[in-house]
Amino acid sequence: MQKREHVIHFMLQGHVHLSKKDYGFFHNLQRLVHDRGIVTTNQSNLFEKLLKKYSRQLIKLEKSPDELLNLQWNSTVVRSSEEYTGARVSINGNSIILKCPFNTKFVKVFKNIKDNTFLWDKVKKGYESEFSTNALKIVYDTLPKYFDDVSYDDAITKKLDEILEFKNHTFAPTLKNINGNLVVVACNQTLSDLLSGIVIEKTAPCFFKMSQLGINVDPDLLTDESLKFASSNIYEMDLYDIDKLGELCQNVGVKHVVWAYRASFSQNINLKSIMHKLERYGVESIIGANRLGIPDEKVNEWLEHEDTIFIQYHSSNYIKNKFVAYSKYVVLKNSTVIHVK
């Protein structure tokens, strides 16, 4: 093989096991160089990435990937249009238009973003959404993670400049340290009434109360694990740290723990032993009665206590779908290293 065009032909002969998508790329590229005698810089870069991707197979076929990469194109290499190198966002009437190069990772993430109003338009070959600050936030937050070049038209740029003036403002009720004083910012009248009589201080019981009232705590204030536990609505901890759970519960005044349905726990977890350890800290435990987590009579009784927490093994998805108002949810993770011999 003397030219990169020869490599394309070789890759399509079945010697290398290509994915369906990669086969399509080489097939289209072969047709382009044959019909038009040109290759774009984007296509050339992807060609090189794919040779590296299939380097192991090439080596088995006694083809040196490095030697193949050193070959030159017989076709003319032209610079890819900006339309195909970066993401472009513009306004058309009352719609936001997003056009960007195909990126598998971006597409997968973008379509699963919660409350994403963008829809793919096959004709325009781009995403379109009715204009809203939420839609603008989605593209502003997501695009830079997948594209080095993101450009906005003048109308979008003007709106972003107006919005970014409030970038450092806090809109959700949050406990912050302001000039040495602990203050709940973005507080409404209802919260203000609920906070009446509460001594606001940097302690686990206080932060626990903040979390129960739906008040965030500034991360700068979370200087130890006890404070992080107290302020979190969903707290994750590793199984090897389980001995610390009793102390964490004691620090915030938790005396009741409901464990998820037994079958949801790994067989190597000794629940009885863990529950016994919690008793040493004055914490009672019961196991949920059924797979759906619907409270039985005993759990309902415990829910009358504002301190009751719920513990689930491994996945937080189960917790997110629950409707019971526990004061806190704890997810146990197992990060034990498995040595494969």
Long-range contacts (CB closer than 8 Å, 24 or more residues apart) made by 223-231: 226/251, 226/252, 227/202, 229/204, 230/204, 230/205, 230/206, 231/207
Q: 133: closest CA among 166, 109, 110, 103?
A: 166
Tell me: do 313 and 328 sit in the same domain. Answer: yes
Render each residue's pLDDT in the chain as its tens digit; 341 residues: 899 999 999 999 999 999 888 898 899 899 988 888 989 888 898 899 999 999 999 999 999 999 999 999 999 988 876 555 678 999 999 999 999 888 888 988 998 898 899 999 888 888 999 999 889 989 999 999 988 788 888 988 888 888 777 666 667 899 999 999 999 998 889 999 999 989 999 999 999 999 999 999 999 999 999 999 999 999 999 888 888 999 999 999 999 998 886 645 556 677 888 889 899 999 998 887 655 455 567 777 777 777 889 888 776 555 554 556 788 989 888 776 666 66
Structural domain harbouring 212: 174-228
Q: How far is CA 9 from CA 37, 55, 256, 327, in A?
A: 15, 16, 69, 64
| Structure tokens, 35 | 């019909």
Considering the domain boundaries, does residue 55 fall inside one?
yes
Number of CB atoms found within 10 A of residue 48's CB: 14
Amino acid at residue number 266: S
Tell me: do 324 and 241 sit in the same domain. Answer: yes
Give pLDDT, residue 254.
93
Number of CB atoms found within 10 A of residue 247's CB: 13
Give pLDDT, residue 86.
77
Q: What is the CATH number of the domain that holds 276?
A: 3.40.1010
Q: 308: closest CA among 327, 321, 332?
A: 327
Q: How far is CA 240 from CA 129, 177, 207, 312, 319, in A?
A: 47, 33, 25, 15, 21
- Last residue of one domain, picked from the residues 58, 78, 98: 78
Give pLDDT, residue 321.
46
- Taking the C-alpha atoms of residue 219 and residue 8, their distance in angstroms, rounded to an integer, is 53
- pTM for the whole thing? 0.55
Give pLDDT, residue 283.
92
Considering the domain boundaries, does residue 256 fall inside one?
yes
Q: Which residues contact 125 (CB under 8 A, 6 or more apart)?
A: 99
Tell me: do 98 and 159 sit in the same domain. Answer: yes
| Structural domains of the chain, count | 4
Tell me: do 250 and 211 sit in the same domain. Answer: no
Tell me: do 59 and 124 sit in the same domain. Answer: no
Tell me: do 65 and 105 sit in the same domain. Answer: no
Give pLDDT, residue 267.
61
Give pLDDT, residue 294.
52
Give pLDDT, residue 299.
74
- Last residue of one domain, picked from the residues 44, 78, 112: 78
Tell me: do 256 and 213 sit in the same domain. Answer: no
- Last residue of one domain, picked from the residues 36, 53, 78: 78
Number of CB atoms found within 10 A of residue 311's CB: 26
- What per-residue string of b and e applies to 205-215 under the rule 16 or more CB within 10 Å gives b? ebbbbbbbeeb
